[in-house]
Amino acid sequence: DAEITQSPRHKITETGRQVTLACHQTWNHNNMFWYRQDLGHGLRLIHYSYGVQDTNKGEVSDGYSVSRSNTEDLPLTLESAASSQTSVYFCASSEFSNQPQHFGDGTRLSIL
Amino acid sequence: QKEVEQNSGPLSVPEGAIASLNCTYSDRVSQSFFWYRQYSGKSPELIMSIYSNGDKEDGRFTAQLNKASQYVSLLIRDSQPSDSATYLCAVNIRGNTPLVFGKGTRLSVIA
């Protein structure tokens, strides 16, 4: 069965460190998305990609970057982790923009 | 006006009752609408998709879309304690843009 996997599931790191969260999907979807979810804010879009070499900023992109070198993977990098980036991060994919997104299980990131 | 709005709840209903969850959206050209269920500590899970006006039924779930009034609803019949979760509404607002998610409504089904 096709799936979308995120790793690690949990991570604790220190402020100022670079952190990369992995997202891998076997749906062969062109569209991939990164969200963060915090109490009171719901899902907030960080970055998204509509295909290889394509990346776009979402509503909360400052301090984050992504790159898309193949269809399956969209890693999310925190260049210099800040405590405000402590959150749960979800990766999702979809075939087209007007189709539903399928979510990974999430990564719980704590920055101390 | 926010693009997709939901009452945050909590919405409390007794076991066996009908739970009614509502979502309004701002753009009349929106074409695709989705309901997700999210249990505490888990990822959102798609439960319903609806693309045209009217009702769509799937088991105990019914999605209702009214494009003229710009709202989409989710009805859960014979509510069970296992339905207790946060329900997210998502809308493809326009063209080739990502889905816009509401903040979710927390549903509590009381046994």
Q: How is B25-67 classified by DSSP, letter by letter? A: ES-TT--EEEEEEE-TTS--EEEEEE-SSEEEEETTEEEEEET
Give chain B's largest Cα–Cα span.
43
CA distance A48 to chain B (A): 8
B95 interaction partners in chain A (CB closer than 8 Å): 97
CA distance B26 to chain A (A): 16
More confident residue, A40 or B14: B14
Of residues A31, A42, A102, nearest to B103 (C-beta)? A42
B58-87 per-residue burial string, b: 16 or more CB within 10 A, e: under 16: eeebbbbbebeeebbbbbbeebeeebbbbb
End-to-end CA distance of chain A: 37
Q: pLDDT of chain A along its 112 residues, tens only? A: 889 999 999 999 999 999 999 999 999 999 999 999 998 889 999 999 999 999 999 999 999 999 999 999 999 999 999 999 999 999 999 999 889 999 999 999 999 9
Distance of CA B59 to the CA centre of its chain: 15
B20-77 pLDDT tens trace: 999 999 988 888 999 999 999 999 999 999 999 999 999 999 999 999 999 999 999 9
Q: Is A5 on the interface with B (CB under 8 A)?
A: no
B77-92 pLDDT tens trace: 999 999 999 999 999 9
Rg (CA), chain A: 13
CA distance A7 to chain B (A): 14
A–B interface: beta-carbon pairs under 8 A: 46
A4-18 pLDDT tens trace: 999 999 999 999 999
